[in-house]
Structure 1
């Protein structure tokens, strides 16, 4: 068994794919969809789609990819990940009914930040899918409570948009997303 795992890791490294074991993080593939159509299952699926897109847009980035900018006026991929991290906290805090803190930034590595984003999105998705009233999940800034509707067109849509920017940037920096990733099905072709 150990020989098989080592062979897979060496082969994936040789082929240029990440050595991380995908079972450690959510969204290698999109989870199976619910048989029930509710506001919670639909909203949860939107977050799952974001998680899948982020997983692959941020998968196996090199230092040159993280530093890459399309132009001097734009964000680097690393700065885009920082922004998606902030958006993911707004998304999960809404489902936890927790206020957003615009305080000090945490010092995290790319790997730590990537994991935190994926875990936050998974937690938010799970909470949404279990809810029969997602109107209770407001975005809270201080005393201001913003309806869940703004979550859809705000942080969720914005983060999906930025995943597309990351995919474009990494293609331009010479490290495109794995061509076997199918965003329509949410699966990775074998």
Structure 2
């Protein structure tokens, strides 16, 4: 199953239950699982690289595992660009009783310059890009600035550290894309 088959980490149980309840198509489940897996590695790295970073790792992991849940209502956005799933997903999560601090990731993962977006949102957004090998310079710069500030280091030092981690994570993109594409888009 897309949410549990090896070799990637399964999504958190609460996220899995929400996705099953919502009737998430297999391709969506696979995608969310892959973004969650990358977020797991990214947050583990950040805890070591920037121990002063005040972020909620569990919130990031939940956000990564549910950020695209709105694609249940906008299935066409599984294969075509679109943003209608973002507010729909946040509303779905809120209606399901998810705390606003966790539901927000569905609405912020594509809007990292939003006033609502903080470090946790940026981490979900980064994971959602780098899982497929994509690099997003302006998003990465936001994280670099935060790491540099928290670590009391020059931005170039923070950039080099983050760049190394994202390069390592991006290297697994082909395998992740193959995993996702093995699952059908429809229910």
- The structure showing larger relative contact order (alpha-carbon pairs under 8 Å, at least 6 residues apart) is 1
Q: TM-score, normalised by structure 1?
A: 0.31
More strand by share: 1
More helix by share: 2
Computing the radius of gyration from Cα coordinates, the structure with the larger value is 1
